[in-house]
Amino acid sequence: MSNLKAKSNPRDSQRLQRLDSPHANAWLSARPSSMDGSDCILPPRIFRTAVARLLGQPVFSNSLPCPLCEQTMDLYGDHPLCCKKSGDRITRHNRLRNLVFKLADTGLLAPELEKLGILGVTDKTRRRPGDVSIKDWSLRRGLAIDVAVICPLAASHLRSSEPCESYAKSEKIDRYAPAFVNSDYDFVPVVFETSGAVNKEGETVLKQIIRFASKREGISHTVYAARAWARLSCCVQAAGAQQILNRDYVDPTDVANIFV
């Protein structure tokens, strides 16, 4: 697609721009090995669906109603990534949350999942704003990591130049950070886009966690970091592709034909 055509189509313009972000394409270079888990092993239908999304190709043969919410689905699979009428988004979130936990655990950071009472005994709502919390992070302060995944092609993000950054600020920092002022933890959102991009503050924290993990594993940091980012990227892509497949995905041979 030419630059002129992309500019005339806000969705394609946003798609191409977000694919140019750091870490967005890390999954493409992932070696499908199970030595460090199955994160980078993408089944054929999952892989084909992710590649079709990457290339801006249709993943559905027709614009049919979503079997879960009955809204008409676009051919390119944007709707399944945003549909709220199933547990798909929670599953996607939990898969990524668990991988962040696993990396922190590998680094011997003693992480905890959804720690209760992180805001102190005075918090009566029993909120769990930290998907992954690390008690001893720095200078007697803990760290509460809030993981999220958004679709940059959703109508609410289409006009944002950096959807993960604007979402991290408006939906995470502005909403939750004030409650941490008098706590023993700092709050950091880690917001991934379905393209693979991640907000800068989240990227900084993940880099630190990955550095701890590479040191504990005794593996060259460059090698371990590349693999860790590939695992995170594959996790996002696999979960997104599964959301599409769960909504009457087109016959896989139809998608395969785009490579012939």
CA atoms within 13 A on the CB side of 27: 28
Report the relative pairing of strands 141-150 and 185-193 from DSSP bridges: parallel
Of the pLDDT bands very low, low, confident and very high (cuts 50, 70, 90), residue 55 is very high
Dihedral sign for Cα atoms in the order 110, 111, 115, 117:
positive
Q: Over range 90-111, report the average pLDDT.
A: 97
pLDDT of residue 117: 75
> Is 25 contained in some domain?
no
> Is 47 contained in some domain?
no
> Is 166 contained in some domain?
yes
The kind and range of the H/E element at 112 are strand 111-113
Of the pLDDT bands very low, low, confident and very high (cuts 50, 70, 90), residue 255 is very low
How many residues in the chain? 260
Burial class (CB in 10 A: 0-12, 13-18, 19+), 122: exposed
Q: Over range 101-130, report the average pLDDT.
A: 80
> Is 11 contained in some domain?
no
Structure tokens given for 231: 């695992």
Say how far apart CA 48 and CA 195 lie, in whole Å.
15
For the entire predicted model, the pTM comes to: 0.88
Per the CB < 8 A criterion, the answer to whether 210 and 174 are in contact is: no
> Is 41 contained in some domain?
no
- Cα 187 to Cα 138, 153, 198, 205: the distances in Å are 13, 27, 16, 11
pLDDT surpassing 90 at residue 252: no
The total domain count for the chain is 1
Task: With H, G, I as helix, E, B as strand and everything else as coil, classify residue 86.
Answer: coil
> Is 134 contained in some domain?
yes
pLDDT surpassing 80 at residue 49: yes
- Identify the DSSP state of 143: E
Per the CB < 8 A criterion, the answer to whether 184 and 141 are in contact is: yes
Domain hosting 90: range is 53-250
Q: Over range 179-194, report the average pLDDT.
A: 93
pLDDT surpassing 70 at residue 36: yes
Say how far apart CA 255 and CA 250 lie, in whole Å.
8
> Is 256 contained in some domain?
no
Mean of all residue pLDDT scores within the chain: 88
> Is 100 contained in some domain?
yes
Helices 44-55 and 221-245: crossing angle in degrees, nearest 10, is 90
pLDDT of residue 91: 95
User: Tens digit of pLDDT for each residue in 126-144?
Assistant: 566 789 999 999 878 999 9
Q: Over range 173-197, report the average pLDDT.
A: 93
Q: Over range 137-156, report the average pLDDT.
A: 93
